[in-house]
Amino acid sequence: MSIAQKRISRRKFMILAINAAGAGAGLLIAAPIVGSILSPIFYKSKYPWVMVADIQHVPVGVPTAYVVMVDQGGDSWQVPKVPRTVYVVKLNLINQVQLIALSNVCTHMQCDVHWDINLNVFFCPCHGGEYSMDGTNIAGPPPQPLFRYQHKLVGNTLFIRNVLVGGS
């Protein structure tokens, strides 16, 4: 191999090395950008959907309680799931049925409320708070309505997640 050929080889090597360094720097710059674009695809929600039940046969106008284990947020291997009572309520509105998933935690001082079939209200035994079937506070000290779980229906199966909405 002649000296000229060696020089060309060195030149080629330098070009390759510079290109490789440039590509590496480009990857370092692009990785966080691509990661931020793709991360929602791989993101695991802190509050995943939890199956409650097939609610096809829950009667309209009869709040029906289910107990489900829900995430409390954080890393699920560190934070244990907790049981939560969910009242599934099918409200009979004009020409349609509205589905809601109520928390049973009183908005006064967080006692557990229950559906009282005789009084036709959600009743809180701690201080006599009362809520109507849709969770509206109607008597006693509760300052706001019962909270509602985010929910979705897949066919007849209800799913909730431990994200509360409403309450005021």
Cβ contact 99:90 at 8 Å: yes
Q: Could you tell me how many residues of this chain bind ligand FES (CB under 6 A)? A: 11
Q: For the CB of residue 150, give the shortest distance to ligand FES in the complex, in Å.
A: 23
Say whether residue 124 binds ligand FES (CB under 6 A).
yes
38 vs 138, beta carbon nearer ligand FES: 138
Residue 111 in the binding site for ligand FES (CB under 6 A): yes
d(CA 20, CA 47): 43
Give the torsion sign (CA, 57, 151, 125, 128). negative
Here's the x/- map for ligand FES, 130-159, by CB under 6 A: it reads as: ----------xxx-----------------
Q: Which stretch binds ligand FES (CB under 6 A): 6-14, 36-44, 49-57, 126-134?
A: 126-134
Per CB under 6 A, does 129 bind ligand FES? yes
Q: Which two tokens stand for residue 52?
A: 């409650």
Question: By CB neighbour count within 10 A (0-12 exposed, 13-18 middle, 19+ buried), where does 99 fall?
Answer: middle
